[in-house]
Amino acid sequence: MNDVQIQNVLDTFNQVGFKNLKRSQLERIHNHFEKCNKRMIMVLSHTSNHDFLLGLLLFGASSIPITMFTNFRNPFLGKLARHIGMLTAVKNKSNTQCIIDHLQKKEQFALLIALAKTGPHQQVHSGYFYIAQALQVPIIVLGFDYFLQTGYVSRKRWMPKREQTYEDFKLESEREILHEIQQICPYKPNFQVGFDLAKYTHPDFHVSKIRAPDLHVLYAHVMGRRFRKEMIVFVLVGLFVLIFLYVVLTWISRRRK
């Protein structure tokens, strides 16, 4: 990412509401990527779709080949996800193995993954460890801080050893990874594994000061960067078909009564 691209990202995030995003944070992500031989896993502080959209916006302006995984049950949403480059679930295969099988064929990738599904009282899922161990790639931590209106990128990287058990990794490295997560104020604090609101000690902090991004601007930028015109047409046609089917089925139901 050159100086012009970096400034463009900073200007865009300022419009969205993240006015304190720093050049050094963007440069740190790229430095990690280069030092990881362009293969790494990024653990994301994630509690809402805002994080997903901000990630698309950030990496859409970068040369880093971002990879995300989703498990949409709706076939339409699954096709949409694949069209924009996301990995999707494969029948009769675990999500972890699906990701490993896909990424081991790639010379370059940056997998963006959360520690758990979005929701309260979640436990850390070990998948990120097994993916990193199988592919022998380092892990970094990053996220968007909704109180400080900035980004966060860990300075350290963690590499699971080939023969290491997950229990040992939890004691040696996951504790540090969770400490990094604690530094990032999420949009929904009670949904983030590893984040304790009582331990987030920035001056003047209050839950009421957690701010959502400007979603109108965010959607406009993401749509403009990630979707071609034919994809927009595809989405609109799909919505029209769904509405048409709903109207027809409603009419049939009323006729039967």
Residue 226 is predicted with a pLDDT of: 46
Cα distance between residue 61 and residue 56, in whole Å: 9
Cβ pair 79, 215 in contact under 8 A? no
Domain extents in the chain: 3-226
What does each of the 257 residues of the chain score in pLDDT, given as a tens digit? 778 888 989 999 999 999 999 999 999 999 999 999 999 999 999 998 889 889 888 888 888 888 887 765 555 545 555 555 667 667 777 889 989 998 998 999 999 999 987 777 778 999 999 999 999 999 999 999 999 999 999 999 999 999 999 999 999 899 999 999 999 999 999 999 999 999 998 989 999 999 999 988 888 887 775 444 445 555 556 667 667 777 777 777 677 66
Residue 48: closest CA among 174, 148, 186: 186
Q: Does domain 3-226 have CATH number 3.40.1130?
A: yes
Residue 188 is predicted with a pLDDT of: 94
Whole-angstrom CA distances from 179 to 29, 138, 154, 156, 251 are 19, 17, 10, 12, 56
Residue 30: closest CA among 69, 50, 68, 58: 58
Give bridge partners of residue 67 from the DSSP assignment: 111
